[in-house]
Amino acid sequence: MKFFIDTADVAEIKDLASTGLLDGVTTNPSLIAQSGRDFIEVITEICGIIDGPVSAEVAATDFDTMLKEGRHLAKIASNVVIKVPLTPDGLKTCKTLSDEGTMVNVTLCFSAAQAILAAKAGASFISPFIGRLDDLGQDGLMLISDIVEIYSQYPEFQTEVLVASIRNPNHIVEAAKMGADVSTIPPKVIRQLYNHPLTDQGLEAFVKDWAKTGQTILAA
């Protein structure tokens, strides 16, 4: 499974990219607003940090303007992925851009039916929002299972399942078990993946036992 980080905070991206475990970045208008910075400037800087896909979302909702914005954003760097909403105009934009060789991330997916449309439109990624479905009392992970199963039936579908709206490590583990291609994860949740009390306890014991030996691995 690929790990994308879901943020527009450049400091967080640099920190997590230094681990070597990061494969890409997703942003959205809300995350850009939280950064308080210029949109184009932020996307440009992120593309210089990460070699993998960097999702930049269009602001328009009509086809003509979305297409113009998408083409403009695609010029920033070769790894920019244009993010469009799962609407009729968004899918029309997706089809046009993907036919031009531009990677497209179709976002705000909440049903398997929508995911089929995105794949037929040539989306590089489909972003089902599982946390928001959970908030409504629905099973967000079941949507991931359905999309993965459907896509597996059609080799011509090249769309990767990008699990979004992740709230906890379990979302990632369960989505990975289902075969999802990518998880886009808030920085806080990525760091939670490291944590287990038995790891901490075991390391503490090892450190104490090593100290008792009085030895050093590195010569003075």
Residue 203 falls inside a structural domain: no
Cβ atoms of 159 and 192 closer than 8 Å: no
Cβ atoms of 140 and 130 closer than 8 Å: yes
**Tens digits of per-residue pLDDT, 148-178?**
999 999 999 999 999 999 999 999 999 999 9
Number of domains forming the structure of the chain: 1
Average pLDDT over residues 55-77: 97
Q: Where are the alpha helices (DSSP H) in the chain?
A: 10-17, 29-35, 39-49, 63-74, 88-99, 112-120, 130-135, 140-152, 169-178, 187-192, 197-213
Residue 58 falls inside a structural domain: yes
Average pLDDT over residues 177-204: 97
Indicate which CATH number applies to the domain containing 119.
3.20.20.70
Provide the 8-state DSSP code for 155. Answer: T
Tell me, what's the pLDDT at 48?
Answer: 96
**Tens digits of per-residue pLDDT, 201-211?**
999 999 999 99
Kindly list the catalytic residues.
Answer: 83
Q: Which of 185, 177, 157, 170 is nearest to 23 (CA)?
A: 185
Residue 27 falls inside a structural domain: yes
Domain enclosing residue 184, as ranges: 2-193
pTM of the model: 0.94
- Rounded CA separation 109/86 (Å): 6
Provide the token pair at 72.
């403009």
Residue 207 falls inside a structural domain: no
C-alpha angle 217-16-177 in degrees, rounded to nearest 5 = 100
